[in-house]
Structure 1
Amino acid sequence: MLRLCLCLLVVGTTAVRANSAVYTKDIHLVVKTSAGDPDGEAAARRVTADINGLQLVRRHLGEDLEFHAVHDDIPEADSNARDDIINAIAQHPDVKSATQQQGFRRNKRGFRSSSSKVKNIAVSNPNGRNNTTATMGGSTNRTEQQLPEPNDPLFEKAWFLKNTGQSWGTPGLDLNVLPVWEAGYIGRNVTVAIVDDGIDYLHPDLAESYNAEASFDFNSNDPYPFPKYADYRFNSHGTRCAGEVSAKRNNRICSVGVAPGSRVAGLRILDQLYVTDLLEAAAMSHRRDIIDIYSASWGPTDDGKTLDGPLKETSRVLRDGITLGRGGLGSIFVWASGNGGPKDDCNCDGYTGSMWTISINSVTNDGSPAIYGESCSSTLASTFSSGRGAGLDAGVATVDLYGFCTLYHSGTSAAAPEAAGVFALALEANPRLTWRDMQHLVVLTSQKRGLQDESRGHKWERNAAGLKFHHLYGFGVLDAGAMVEMAQIWRPLPERFECTAGRVAQPVYFDVRQEVELTIDSNGCDFDSNSRVRFIEHVQAFVTLRASRRGDVLLFLTSPSNTTSMLLGRRPMDSDSKKGFTDWPFMTTHMWGEFAAGQWTLRAEMSASSANYTQHGLITDWTLVIHGTQDPPYRDIPDKPGSTIAQVKRIQREHLS
């Protein structure tokens, strides 16, 4: 059998518009060959031989009969020629279907204030200290144990690794990684892929950590994902994220990564005007046999009015990744929650709202939410990305392009790779952790101490399983010490089930003066052995609604245990009155560990802060899907008296009795 050429996922900087759709200059298609020929590759080659200008690129996601093909021989402005080519491919006797790929924008989530420019800092002399205090437990409860500190010159500025109060921060409020390093865990044998605009793998602080085997440039179709120079683009983004994860320790260069012994891979898909679903899917499934964690600090536009998420192929890759990645343990997808600030809601981003990803928000060094951080019920936890001050030590210290260092990396872009580094530490401590194990560890070990209580109208709440959550922070700030400690004693979770609890499919009107409540009884989830869910992990509410102004719609979901989660907050920039939401999967983690059976309530209302009191909405469909386990999830895991897991286990035992 002939070998296919390497993936040619090149998206031109020009695009063709057809109605409201945007297409790349070259025609990219998913071609499905007829099942009548079991040799799909031979059939695909017959198609490319019969149609001039059509090239066979690669087998699509390992499927026998699906292929990625590209046609690059078309006049740019000739839409009729484009249609003729697509029709000719679709009508070929060996083709069952041919789907053209649209182009769309994906934005990096780095944050740059309007008052300062990004600065590169060349560092040659160490300025480290040689002692610190920490324990494997909580980050604000340290002993006087003396631990050596790295000699990397910017380590003293890395307040997210060790917060001594730099830039008006709160001492002790950090990721608590030093005791993990002292215990010998630095992320060995773990590969983190930075899916971004490439990484500078020649940087002396990254060269030793770089995993060339796991890297690829999908823009240029080669295995060298080096960032391309451009004055008008922020092409240091991926390099900075990589440094947060894997920058080496004690080499007297820049700072140090959260997991300095881990390997880092570069998957270059950004740095262009448009990407496609095929491009994203190829990157997020690349070498999932050797890549453990995919870190993505990008997504749809954070403008407070966009409603967007992964399309068909990328959704499929994320779903398949949790069963096919890491030999069946599941790929771990980490996503930056977004930089839309209080005027946006990250549940309108289908990447961060996915139950297959771990959505990470941003916290400053004094425990307040970052000004650009979004709130939503799908956020699982937070890490750090900004300091209070405007000085050199206010941002995240990391590497930069061409051998430089920077102290200005920021945004939720900086938060996601920190989380990926913490997860790499946990995977070294226990390589058998599954994608679900990692999410449970996040829920059980994230720290609340030092974080502000009431922020933007949200405050800490406790669900019926005894777990505290916040619409901005999720379950708190990641604590590497606590996570690694629990990872070492972790036991396999019970099997995961999902249950469609019910559906309400009737039009219901609501407005500023009259809210509406819809209810579903989920008792079937407790008694049907094929889809029985008793203890909750994720909850999805698939909602279809239209409104005179989409940004004024508020949605709340209340569990049988009376825990209420805001599924959708007000978005003042969103003036949509036509599209609304169509079967949109709002997701919440706030009922984690609760009991699924009973009455669930979805409440919809129009924001009273709306200037127009004639605003109204119409819900036409709501489906409730509950994910979790039939058996108590932590029954086999040791616990300490008074710990979070001990509390949850006690509550769940009382429920069963």
Structure 2
Amino acid sequence: MPLSIVHTFVLVIFTLASFAKSDITSKEYAIKADSKNDVIDLCRHTGCTFIRQVTSVYFLVKCPAAKLRSKTGTNREMATMQHIAKKYNITKIEFQDKHKNYPRTQDSHWTSMWNLNNDVQPSMKVQEAWSKGRSGSGVVVAVVDDGVQLNHPDLRQNINPANSYDYYNSDQNPTPTSANDSHGTMVAGLVAAEANNDQCIVGIAHNCTILGVKILGDEGVTDSTEASALNHKLNGVDIYTNSWGPSDGFGHIGPGSVTESALYDGVTKGRNKKGVIYVWAAGNGGLRDNCNADGYVNSIFTIPITSVGVDGRAAYYAEVCAPVFAATYSGNKNKTLTSTSLASSCVDGLQGTSFSAPQAAGMIALAIETNPELTWRDVQHLIVETSKRHDLQDDFYHWQRNGAGFYVSQVLGFGLMDADALVERAKTWVKVPEQKLCSTSEFRVYSSTNYFSSSVRSRKLIQNGDACQISSLEHVEVLVSFSYTRRRGNVVLTLESPAGTKSFLLTPRPIDSIKFSGPGSRAWYYSSVHFWGEKIDGLWALTAKSDSPFTTEVTLKSWKLRFYGFNKESNKNDCAHKKSGIVTVLSVCITILSLVFYY
């Protein structure tokens, strides 16, 4: 036996012997490895228990651990695990701590369903889609939330109990046991409540199949549990609708590395490699918040959806949101929504982006029923091309017409979703070419605002080349590194494209200023869909501004761009690297990107 392995065994025996002298508990770790056998080998030699494979590259194990009495003990234990992991071809090991997410919510009732029955204009044209025979038949939607009442009389015919699951309590039944956990049942009704049964409401995709997936609870969940829920029955689910996320108003919080891996697996392996659709509620922080600080919402793998009220204005809780694709109707102070709830009831008073996202999921189900070959990116393109501006107002900034001719709002994305147009376009939709990703080098700035100048502007000329042939943009991500003297919520970031399209990546967040009142720094990937269809070539400008120059000084340290899109003319180039200027990171395939979030 090699000496290094002997030393490892000694270390393990010593560690476990130490545990035996104190209170024993078990701790869960997410293990990243190329091979399941390497993880099993690690477990066999360390006393750990292999639990399950979570994603294509992450595995969950449980190891004996002492009840730690100090922060120092935690660090020492983790260092021990990291040392052991190196001996078994393990690339990464992460302790699984719990974090908490929050619901996004502040037929007999058909007359109350103003969002669908054409009582208000503009219409989302769901009835028109129904008249063409669309009802979501054959499409499977997972409601990832705080549980779903499986035997609700307006849902039970469309729910598949055998394939539902409670990840929060690790059992087969996601039906809530607390009256407070009604959120998921409300969400499910808007997607799939049965039609013409004299019960409550009708869902947009009233013939689809629903899986209840419970993940929310008072004590929170680990990264690996969250990842498992987002890959639940991956080979049998088309759409995951998510009406939850981090707290509104403060922080820069995103998915952990295991959940990132799960999202990647979803869009690359799900639906026979066409990719599952992750619909996400954009958040309820209002104009005093910005959804770009939410790493679930600003992921290129998700479709964030926000809310419009009955008055045709962005709902009072809708956030400034450069990543948001579109809006659907939801409640406001004047008129609210109705849906199914616990105890087989039917309730009104619903408002929040929580209840916009499932309506979008229902419309997407109609499109997938129409054309099951749609990929995850096809669906994004369809939403961009069929959503309508109408006369909607967002109370933050004027509508812009971007360089590709799309009207876009800083709050409402490309406008109100249109189910009829979505279905019609899906009938003849031609699959978009493979996605390319081009990344620039880092642009170093190190320039600060002051009393006399409240903003810093950095401009860079970007040119397409042989190694990066994107002729039509999709998502644009910006890695921005900045520092601030105090009150981080006063920092404003905007990105302007060569076509003159302006995107607000970060806007004033008063609660964030309270929570982060002292000096600090931040490095974060912000994203935008406002440049959809535009070209890369030309001058790109990033502006960092202090909303209160006498209070907060902002230093823009550096920034870099990542462009996602495709080449309209050709899809022949393989992955290649340019020698200078812009670099092609990826051509005809997407590679999982390991992001580091600094809280």
Shorter-chain TM-score bucket reads: 0.7 to 0.9
1:272 aligns with 2:218: yes
1:522 aligns with 2:462: yes
Tell me the alpha carbon deviations over residues 219-243 of structure 1, each in whole angstroms, 9 at most, x when there is no partner.
222222111215xxx3001111011
TM-score (normalised: structure 2) = 0.85
Tell me the alpha carbon deviations over residues 29-61 of structure 1, each in whole angstroms, 9 at most, x when there is no partner.
1235797xx8336414414xx53xx43311232
1:216 aligns with 2:165: yes
Q: How does 1:210-249 map to 2 (within 5 A)?
A: 210-229=159-178, 234-249=180-195
Is 1:501–1:520's contact at 8 Å kept on the other side of the alignment?
A: no
> 2:33 and 2:529 mapped to 1: Cα distance?
41
Q: Which residue of structure 2 lines up, in the alignment, with residue 631 of structure 1?
A: 568
The alpha-carbon deviation at position 289 of structure 1 amounts to 1.0
> 1:191 and 1:551 mapped to 2: Cα distance?
40
Q: Which residue of structure 1 lines up, in the alignment, with residue 29 of structure 2?
A: 29
Q: How does 1:418-567 map to 2 (within 5 A)?
A: 418-452=359-393, 455-511=394-450, 513-514=452-453, 515-523=455-463, 526-529=464-467, 531-548=468-485, 549-567=487-505
The alpha-carbon deviation at position 602 of structure 1 amounts to 0.7
Q: Which residue of structure 1 lines up, in the alignment, with residue 37 of structure 2?
A: 39
> 1:476 and 1:291 mapped to 2: Cα distance?
27
> 2:432 and 2:398 mapped to 1: Cα distance?
30
Q: Which residue of structure 2 lines up, in the alignment, with residue 184 of structure 1?
A: 133
1:363 aligns with 2:308: yes
Q: Which residue of structure 2 lines up, in the alignment, with residue 162 of structure 1?
A: 117
> 1:551 and 1:81 mapped to 2: Cα distance?
35
> Structure 1's 570 and 512: CA in aligned 2 closer, same or farther, altered over 3 A?
farther
The alpha-carbon deviation at position 196 of structure 1 amounts to 0.8
Q: Please tell me the residue identity of whatever aligns with 1:564.
A: K
Bigger drift between 74-83 and 624-633 goes to 74-83
Q: Which residue of structure 2 lines up, in the alignment, with residue 648 of structure 1?
A: none
Q: Which residue of structure 1 lines up, in the alignment, with residue 263 of structure 2?
A: 318
1:374 aligns with 2:319: yes
Is 1:191–1:211's contact at 8 Å kept on the other side of the alignment?
A: no
> 1:434 and 1:581 mapped to 2: Cα distance?
34
| SS of aligned partner of 2:405 | coil
> Structure 1's 245 and 509: CA in aligned 2 closer, same or farther, altered over 3 A?
same
> 2:545 and 2:223 mapped to 1: Cα distance?
34
Q: Structure 1: which 5+ residue stretches go unaligned?
A: 1-24, 112-151, 165-170, 634-657
Q: How does 1:297-376 map to 2 (within 5 A)?
A: 297-302=243-248, 304-376=249-321
> 2:245 and 2:239 mapped to 1: Cα distance?
17
| SS of aligned partner of 1:264 | strand
Q: CA RMSD in A?
A: 2.3
Is 1:499–1:627's contact at 8 Å kept on the other side of the alignment?
A: yes
The alpha-carbon deviation at position 553 of structure 1 amounts to 1.4
> 1:570 and 1:361 mapped to 2: Cα distance?
19
Is 2:30–2:258's contact at 8 Å kept on the other side of the alignment?
A: no
1:153 aligns with 2:94: no
Q: Percent identity?
A: 35
1:593 to 514, 528, 533: 533
Q: Please tell me the residue identity of whatever aligns with 1:593.
A: G
Q: Structure 2: which 5+ residue stretches go unaligned?
A: 1-24, 571-599
Tell me the alpha carbon deviations over residues 337-365 of structure 1, each in whole angstroms, 9 at most, x when there is no partner.
10111211111111111111111111111
| SS of aligned partner of 1:386 | coil
> Structure 1's 84 and 345: CA in aligned 2 closer, same or farther, altered over 3 A?
closer
Is 2:402–2:501's contact at 8 Å kept on the other side of the alignment?
A: yes
Is 1:75–1:81's contact at 8 Å kept on the other side of the alignment?
A: no
Q: Which residue of structure 2 lines up, in the alignment, with residue 70 of structure 1?
A: 62
1:107 aligns with 2:102: yes
The number of residues matched between the two structures is 539
TM-score (normalised: structure 1) = 0.78
Tell me the alpha carbon deviations over residues 86-118 of structure 1, each in whole angstroms, 9 at most, x when there is no partner.
56655546574532122222111111xxxxxxx
1:283 aligns with 2:261: no
Q: Please tell me the residue identity of whatever aligns with 2:488.
A: R
> 1:354 and 1:619 mapped to 2: Cα distance?
23
Q: Which residue of structure 2 lines up, in the alignment, with residue 655 of structure 1?
A: none
Q: Please tell me the residue identity of whatever aligns with 2:133.
A: G
> 1:505 and 1:229 mapped to 2: Cα distance?
52
